[in-house]
Every structure is written in structure tokens, then in C-alpha cells.
Amino acid sequence: MTVHEFRGDLGVFTPPKSPVALQGRPPILLALYWPGMLVHLLKSKIHRGQVTAANLNYEGSMSIDRDLMDKVGLLPYEKILCSNMANAARFETYAIPAERGSRQIVLNGAAAHLGKPGDRLTIMSFTEVDATEAKFWKPNVIVLGENNAVVNERGI
């Protein structure tokens, strides 16, 4: 066995030159041979958020009730990926806080063309996690119902 080989439950493992060749292997192997390797995982998700308004003349972004943002750990000006359940549109923008308790989710600027009041959105943000910690990672997720009230939560 050489210095770069690993002996374990999977037998003797000699790492390939690229982490791509490790797809499907346990995350611990990634960390052993590429220390500090990061994987992109879901951090925060607001599921079934209902658009309350669309403001084409605003500079851009999406306004989200600050209470909802805090609940899932979404930061002001954080990049978000959104998918519209009504028309299948997917777009990236950034979150800005709307008034606490307002239950507002407002499409601003160009994003206002990608939805209308009443549409249901999935709003997601992502983070980078060390490969050794990835299998223990749990995102913060809320599911919204009527009037954007929280009806379910996970990881919180």
C-alpha cells in the first residue's frame, strides 16, 4: 500500500487525479484526498410562496417578508434561485426584506415579467459545505399555505 492509498471497508482505494472520478463514492473519500473540498448544497428554501405583487418599475430583486427570510436563514441581498410553479420559469435574483409580518413576496424589476400575483414560487439559496460534513447537512425549509402562512417547516 502506498502513502496515497486508503484501506477500509471498500478495500484498497487509490485516488484518481480528479474528484470527478469519485462520483458515487462515499463523501469521506473526497475529503481524505482533497482536503477542504466543498460541495454546493441547499441552504434555505421557501416552498409554495405566493406572489403578492409584481413591480416592473423597481430596480430589481425580490421582496420577501423579513419574518420568512429569518425563519429559513435567508440574508438580505443574498442570491436566490426561484422557480415558478405556474409557468415553469426559473430565474436568479437577490432577496430584499419586506416589512415584517406583511407576508409579502414581490417580484421586482425584470423578474416581474416571470410571474403574477397568485403564482406559487419555490425560493432557494445555496451554500458550500465541506465534503466531510455534507452527509449531515440539513437545509432550513418552510412550506407556505394561504396568505403565505407557514404550514410546515423542516431543519429549523
Active site residues: 61, 94
d(CA 3, CA 11): 15
What single-letter DSSP state applies at residue 74? P
Closest C-alpha among 122, 53, 58 to residue 91: 122
d(CA 113, CA 69): 23
For 123-155, letters b (16+ CB in 10 Å) and e give bbbbeebebeebeeeebbbbebeeebebeeeee
